[in-house]
Structure 1
């Protein structure tokens, strides 16, 4: 079974709820999971799968609790081609920079040559009242690869 780091970027709690739902599904499937709401790079194991669950704030920005990790990765990490990851981006399509937080994190990991296990999931708050539901379906679609 796989070991998973769930990295959460949240302001109002939606991303936390999604992360906890995915955590439970992964645990039920026998995987080892650790949640990180205020992650720092030294706490994250690059040998584990990184599952980033983040909302978007302002003009397509990362939530404040995720910015320090993002900056630390951008400034300190060499290419990480062995890192496997997936991203759940929460946003609202009525804003110009829909899911910008998740897109930024996904693009950073791609720049560092990390390997995406699944296409980024973008959940639209204008269409979905319970973002954990599409996130759970998305996870089930690729969880067998880990």
Structure 2
């Protein structure tokens, strides 16, 4: 059975709710959701697949609960050539294009630098257009899971 670690960056719970809904829809996958992940949690999936689901805060920053993982990955810079990944980025384009989905864009770039393999292009969800992110994310996620 394929393994999937879902790592969440959330401030008000939207990304967390989305992650829980998606995880429960993946019956054929051994899925674990991490809200306060450590580097060890993440590296446990170095030969499997991870999914980053993150909202974006302030000026395009990573939420506080996910920031320590991002910093640890930058500092330790573990090469992850066997890891597959996907990113669902949540944001609001009314804050400006340079800030829109900034957390997801940063994780997407870092995981690529670490040599992980993107299983499909990042999904950017605009809260100004899609009030319910699950409506947009479910099809993307279903296609993502097929690739595991």
TM range (shorter): over 0.9
Report whether the alignment pairs 1:141 with 2:127.
no
**Cα distance, 1:137 vs structure 2:** 1.1
Residues 65-94 of structure 1 show CA distances to partners (whole Å, capped at 9, x for unaligned) of 111000001111332111110000000010
Find the aligned partners of 1:36 and 1:142 in 2 and give their Cα distance: 18
**Selected match of 1:35 from 23, 29, 33:** 33
Q: Give aligned pairs, total.
A: 144
Match for residue 119 of structure 2? 117
Match for residue 54 of structure 1? 54
SS in 2 for 1:94: helix
Match for residue 134 of structure 2? 132
Find the aligned partners of 2:86 and 2:117 in 1 and give their Cα distance: 9
Match for residue 9 of structure 2? 9
Find the aligned partners of 1:114 and 1:105 in 2 and give their Cα distance: 11
Map of 1:72-83 to 2, 5 A cutoff? 72-83=72-83
Structure 1 stretch displaced more, 77-86 or 121-130: 77-86
Structure 1, gaps ≥5 residues long: none
Match for residue 69 of structure 2? 69
Find the aligned partners of 1:98 and 1:49 in 2 and give their Cα distance: 25
CA RMSD of aligned residues (A): 0.9
Q: Give runs of ≥4 in structure 1 deviating > 2 Å.
A: none
What TM-score results when the alignment is normalised by the length of structure 1?
A: 0.95
Find the aligned partners of 1:122 and 1:67 in 2 and give their Cα distance: 19
